[in-house]
Chains A and B, each alone.
Chain A
Amino acid sequence: MKRALHSWQGALALILCLAALACLPLMAADAPSPFGTGTVVLVFLLVAGAALVSFTNLSQPLVATILFVAAHLAVWLLLAGIAGNEGKATLAFFLMLAASWLLAWRCVTELSGIRPKSKSGDTFLRLLIPAIFGAWILILWEAATRGAGIPFIILPPPSSIGARLAGSVPILWADVQQTIFKAVLFGYVVGCASGFVVAILADRIAFLRRGLLPIGNMVSALPIIGVAPIMVMWFGFDWQSKAAVVIIMTFFPMLVNTVAGLAASGAMERDLMRSYASDYWQTLMKLRLPAAMPFIFNALKINSTLALIGAIVAEFFGTPIVGMGFRISTEIGRMNVDMVWAEIAVAALIGSVFYGVVALGERATTFWHPSNRGG
């Protein structure tokens, strides 16, 4: 009983198996190519067997491996069975899907409980757990859209998004070059750099600090996307106008954060510099900028996502016939939702990489900060 409670996912999976048995078959009676009896038996055996294994006292890695193999094999059989039967899946099918998902959940729980001794093992687990998690989002999405026959326009299955992605690499690559490599990177670098320089100037010159900062706070509260059409009027249809939007969006977060960061060093640390008769620039370089780094990286991280949003949305307001925002707005008009999703996937991937690179830089630079020291 205690084991059953311990692995409640396994227990629930068994119950779901029984419920599914009660309402077989897995596909509706009019399905063109229903599951073979052997496949159905295999799926039930895999799920029920793995659920039983999760109650045993075997070692955690072994249980996790068995669960991993069984859950994914079962779900693969289930997904493969949809082919030709789109929209014909019955309650039993979804019960079995839920049961395999529970097993995968149990697997991740077991994996999370493992304390690996080696560093590489630790890294492997750190990557494996979110990978299983992510894979199941796609699996459930795929099974739900194709099994239940959700209209393509509403939500295309990940498999067709993937196919579209693989089939349109040249177009996507051109869009990425236009939007990311030109508008986003240029705008991000110029916006962050100018925000930083103006912050230093504002620190040095009192009237800038008193005059510009309140206005900066006001401007950053404006819906910056609203200025996109104006930027198109000023700088033309090509990437320059998008870069301008990105510059405006990234400038103020960097300005405000850097100014806050420059004020972050303690009074005692500044007195120390004063006791050395250190001049303004020495104090800036050796004390105030290092102390401001956590703030500056905060702005860099915020800006990495803002820049992407800004450039993509700005393309809705006029652009040459290339670019991620352009593609999204035209393909949705042509009902090519899979292409829209493909662009979203690419944007998400690039956004994560962008953020990840900044975060790595942050860890290397502000390793001394209490939040990064670790243990």
Chain B
Amino acid sequence: MNNSPSSVVSAQKLGLTFETSDGPVHALSNVDLTVNKGDFVSFIGPSGCGKTTFLRVIADLEKATAGEITVNGMTPEEARKSRSYGYVFQAPALYPWRTIEKNIALPLEIMGYSSTDRKARIERTLDLVNLSGFGKKYPWQLSGGMQQRASIARALAFDADLLLMDEPFGALDEIVRDHLNEQLLKLWARTEKTICFVTHSIPEAVYLSTRIVVMSPRPGRVTDVIESTLPRERPLEIRETPEFLEIAHRVREGLRAGHSYEE
């Protein structure tokens, strides 16, 4: 169907059912979605809608139980083994016994980059997330926002064109979050990566994305896919424009449609 050369992630009729002691839980059902190269796709929906699960299926951290999914034209497992994505978790997950530098070096060590190459990449990615000069610090000496930036640097350090981000700024306050969103857009423009971004914040999704995937729970499914009409260059003030508010409105409508509180 959507296996054009530019598609990075392509899912058809994807389903995932967890077998629990209370019976099966349908985390995902009938998800059809294509993410193209260079896209910034946000997944938004209430908790339990399977947005994180979908990201984890792409990353081969969960296995789909139905349907098809390809990542870079491969199965998720092959894609993981060929190290084709970087994953940013909800928490920084930096190792406290390693300095920031060494944390960024972790994937590079595992993937066998030479030590001179490692040094150059650490310097470059630290600069990319505005953390130059903090390389020798330990994670617990930095603020939460800085730690999350370091974890983004770690995901950017190796050559993966796909960046999977699972509510990376969920635990941060709004001021830090705005700042990091702005930086993330700049970073996306500079690195030309494809980004899949899970969030539960409507303004965040609208501000960042070229496409917004609205999901709803029980079973987790896609209810709407909204193409953003906003330009790629987005100052923070764009969030006050009518165009922005209209997209936000559509997202909200989509969330409401998939969410029958009356039940």
Chain A interface (Cβ within 8 Å of chain B)?
266, 268-269, 271-278, 282, 286-287, 290, 293, 366-370, 373
Contacts and interface: CB of A to CB of B under 8 A. Distances in A.
B197 interface: no
B106 A277 contact: no
Interface centre among A268, A366, A369 (most CB of B within 10 A): A268
Interface in B141-172: none
Interface string B191-227: 0000000000000000000000000000000000000
B109 interface: yes
**What are the 7 A-B residue pairs with the smallest beta carbon separation, nearest first?**
A368-B96, A368-B97, A275-B87, A268-B93, A278-B110, A277-B81, A276-B110
A290 B106 CA distance: 13
21 contacts: A268-B90, A268-B91, A271-B61, A271-B87, A272-B87, A274-B60, A274-B80, A275-B59, A275-B61, A275-B86, A275-B87, A276-B110, A276-B111, A277-B80, A286-B95, A286-B109, A287-B95, A367-B97, A368-B138, A369-B96, A370-B140
Nearest to B83: A277
Contacts of A286: 95, 106, 109-110
Contact of B93 (A269, A274, A277): A269
Given A271-B87, A368-B97, 10 more contacts: A268-B93, A269-B95, A272-B89, A274-B61, A275-B59, A275-B85, A276-B83, A276-B106, A287-B95, A367-B97
B80 A275 contact: yes
Nearest to B81: A277
Contacts of A282: 110
B76 to A, nearest CB: 11
A18 B107 CA distance: 76
Contacts of A370: 140
Interface string B46-84: 000000000000011100000000000000000011110
B89 A271 contact: yes
Contacts of A277: 80-83, 110
B136 to A, nearest CB: 14
Interface of B: 59-61, 80-83, 85-87, 89-91, 93, 95-97, 106-107, 109-111, 138, 140
B52 to A, nearest CB: 11
Given A276-B111, A277-B83, A290-B95, A373 B59 contact: no
What does DSSP make chain A's interface, helix, strand, loop or mixed?
Answer: helix
Contacts of B97: 290, 293, 366-368
Nearest to A273: B110
A276 B61 contact: no
A366 B111 CA distance: 26
A369 B95 CA distance: 11
Nearest to A366: B97
A2 B127 CA distance: 62
Given A274-B61, A274-B80, A278-B110, A268 B89 contact: yes
A368 B81 contact: no
Contacts of B81: 277
A272 B109 CA distance: 14
A373 B140 contact: yes
B166 to A, nearest CB: 10
B68 to A, nearest CB: 21
A132 to B, nearest CB: 36
A242 to B, nearest CB: 37
Nearest to B86: A275
Contacts of B107: 276
Contacts of A293: 97
B96 A266 contact: no
B140 A368 contact: yes
B154 to A, nearest CB: 9
Contacts of A278: 110
A232 B140 CA distance: 52
A272 B96 CA distance: 14
Contacts of B80: 274-275, 277
Contacts of A287: 95
